[in-house]
Amino acid sequence: DEDSLPSDWVPLFTNANDKSNEGIVHMSKPFFSVQFHPEHTAGPEDLECLFDIFLQAVPKKVLILGSGGLSIGQAGEFDYSGSQAIKALKEEKIQTVLINPNIATVQTSPGLADKIYFLPLTPEYVEQVIKAERPSGILLTFGGQTALNCGVKLEQDGVFKTYGVKILGTPIQSIIDTEDRKIFAEKINEIGEQVAPSAAVYCIQEAIEAADKIGYPVMARAAFSLGGLGSGFANNKDELKVLAQNAFAHSNQLIIDKSLKGWKEVEYEVVRDAFNNCITVCNMENVDPLGIHTGESIVVAPSQTLSNREYNMLRTTAIKVIRHLGVVGECNIQYALNPHSEEYYIIEVNARLSRSSALASKATGYPLAYVAAKLSLGVSLLDIKNSVTGETTACFEPSLDYCVVKI
């Protein structure tokens, strides 16, 4: 009798024939009870459907690596993206477990995530949470570079495989392909595109040899770094030595790039679902020339000095690259464009939500983080409603009749 159930228990399903209660489930704990009598055949003989109903009723659990503490190059935009992801998951009736050591964030507000761990975003702590919570999936792309690096380390250590945790959205190999500059250059060359002439080095002597080969001036960048940490320009061997020493303090891999000072920096925000549907949400142009990190640069959306031919050339390339890398969700691609010709290089691809993504969301009204979270669950772009317009699907590219400037 349903009326005799304790307050925290509810019926799981009822018999389709006599409407009797044949299963109960606890509202917050993973307890359930099922009863049926297959000995007689007064009702349907195929009882597999009962288990399907039960499995649908059991809430799925997803672990989200949050924005972490505020630092140079990583601030409120990742709090914004994580909050949007939690809302998207809750709409799909998925339990959310959040790891975020920063109590002063929106995503740690009461009532948003189902469970919050105020722990550092390090592989050791994340593994302990996975061990305790046993989530079915994990989102790595909503916590910035810190969360991404943590996820890569856990994958390399075999933690996800040990506990049967599925990486939702962009495959971990695609993340590694975009973060490791040497692999990234090889992947881009596979589809006939170019990255700036560069070399990946692992010691100061290798850096000097690479710079001699490419030709000064060069730009040195630390791989797997946040906000351009350990980067700078070198006009000679002595300047490069100083830069390399600083860079190797942050990363074991240093990238020596051909200097493209004075070239335009253009970026596109691209969205792709698991069914290979792909759109460019926003294109942005940096007022500052190449060499100023895009997170600190003055940015205009949409681009103001690109011709229609240049715009479509870079847009087509962006979609080709994202499809080749297998990104599922949201992705940011950055170009260096020669102001005197149509020559361009692909600088980098961020297979995650970035500072540019937050700007693009605000500029276009297209909820990138919300859509990316839905896409990571395998939902098609055509099936997602744009939560801002309420009418169009997420497969429509925004068209701006205004200009947005980030200073």
Region of residue 224 (phi > 0: left; psi between -120 and 50: alpha; otherwise: beta)? left
Beta carbons within 8 Å of 87's beta carbon, 6+ residues apart = 112, 370
Residue type, 200: A
Residue type, 266: V
CATH architecture of the region 198-258: 2-Layer Sandwich (3.30)
Instruction: Give me the sign of the Cα torsion angle 372, 377, 380, 384.
Output: negative
Q: How far apart are CA 16 and CA 237, in angstroms?
A: 80
Q: Is the pLDDT of residue 32 over 70?
A: no
Q: How far apart are CA 183 and CA 181, in angstroms?
A: 6
- Enumerate the domain spans of the chain: 2-57, 63-168, 198-258, 264-406
The CATH number given to 264-406 is 3.30.470.20
Q: How far apart are CA 234 and CA 354, in angstroms?
A: 27
- pLDDT (tens digit per residue) in 303-354: 999 999 999 999 999 999 999 999 999 999 999 999 999 999 999 898 888 8
Q: How far apart are CA 386 and CA 358, in angstroms?
A: 16
Instruction: Give the relative orientation of helices 308-325 and 181-190 as an angle to the nearest 10 degrees.
Output: 110
Tokens (6 digits) for 399: 């068209």
Its pTM stands at 0.77
Q: Are 77 and 358 in contact (CB under 8 A)?
A: yes
Q: How far apart are CA 148 and CA 151, in angstroms?
A: 5
The lowest-confidence range among 18-22, 82-86, 265-269, 327-331 is 18-22
Residue range 375-394: average pLDDT?
87
Which residue bears the tokens 């392909």?
A: 177
H-helix segments, 222-343: 237-247, 308-325
Give the CATH class of 63-168. alpha beta
Q: How far apart are CA 138 and CA 64, in angstroms?
A: 6
- pLDDT (tens digit per residue) in 144-192: 888 888 999 999 999 999 999 999 999 989 988 998 878 999 999 999 9
Q: Is the pLDDT of residue 249 over 80?
A: yes
Residue range 41-51: average pLDDT?
58
In this prediction, residue 238 carries a pLDDT of: 92
